[in-house]
Amino acid sequence: MKEKVAGAGAKGVVVGLSGGIDSSVVAAISKKAFPESVVGIIMPCCSNPTDAEHGQLVAATFNIPTYTVDLTETFFSLHQSIISVTQKEANQLTVANMKPRLRMTTLYYFAGLFNYLVAGTGNKSEIETGYYTKYGDGGVDMEPIGHLLKTEVRVLAEYLEVPMDIIHKQPTAGLWEAQTDEQEMGISYAELDCCLKEGEGSEKVKSRVKEMQRISEHKRHMPPVPSWKVTE
């Protein structure tokens, strides 16, 4: 992290504090790397109030200066502005993905304000299956835990003394009410990680993982550029 920040001529990092285990671990790591130059941003957006409370708990636990920006009204305003033009409602996931993209925009505002980089909170399980929003929570400058499976993140969280309420809470992207990661994926993180690490699991699990990887391949690459050239 220090090399990445120094190479960019930046001074520190900004981290979105969702109240989940991944962002908590990244916040703890960031505080160790940049004791005086890390800032946390809590961004509720039609969110469960407990998430913001857990974000504040993490900030207090690791002594991280934090700002709260409520994006709920911004989300509703943008959504209604689009509907007023299209006269048509998009599917649930398309609408929900607006939330992490608004958060990404907010994080980069603070990054520019302080000359910091944005530290992402994605883990290897999410990255390899595309379980994140393109140009949302996937729009970051670095992924400090991108080499760790979700089950490994839990182990690190315990070592870093992340509050137990956060370690044991049900993983959720907070895209809509009562949404959980495992319910949306259709498999548990234990099953997913076993498949990714050992290549083991039921045919149902293997098939689901393979399909998630296939349809999200575009997320793991820069936008394609034509190889042909203009000739005279």
pLDDT one-digit tens code per residue, 23-69:
999 999 999 999 999 999 999 999 999 999 999 999 999 999 999 99
- Report whether pLDDT(231) > 90: no
Q: In the chain, at which residue ranges do the beta strands (DSSP E only) sit?
A: 12-16, 38-42, 66-68, 116-118
Q: Identify how many contiguous H helices and E strands the chain contains and give both numbers.
A: 12, 4
- Report whether pLDDT(232) > 80: no
Classify domain 2-220 at the CATH class level. alpha beta
Contact residues for 201 (Cβ-Cβ < 8 A; gap 6+): 191, 194, 195, 209
Per-residue pLDDT band at 171 (split at 50, 70, 90): confident
Domain ranges of the chain: 2-220
- Report whether pLDDT(72) > 80: yes
Are the beta carbons of 21 and 56 closer than 8 angstroms? no
Residue (of 92, 43, 50, 95) closest to 67 by Cα position: 43
If phi > 0 it is left, if psi is from -120 to 50 it is alpha, else beta; for residue 115 that is left
Torsion sign, CA atoms 212, 215, 217, 219: negative
Letter for the amino acid at 26?
V
CA torsion 95-146-148-109 (nearest 10°) is -70
The span from the CA of 116 to the CA of 97, in Å, is 25
pLDDT at 84: 96
The span from the CA of 65 to the CA of 204, in Å, is 44
Residue (of 169, 171, 175, 173) closest to 188 by Cα position: 171
Averaged pLDDT for residues 59-82: 98
pLDDT one-digit tens code per residue, 104-123:
999 999 999 999 999 999 99
36 C-beta neighbours (distance < 10 Å), count: 8
Stated pTM of the model: 0.94
201-206 contacts at long range (C-beta below 8 A, 24 or more positions apart)? none
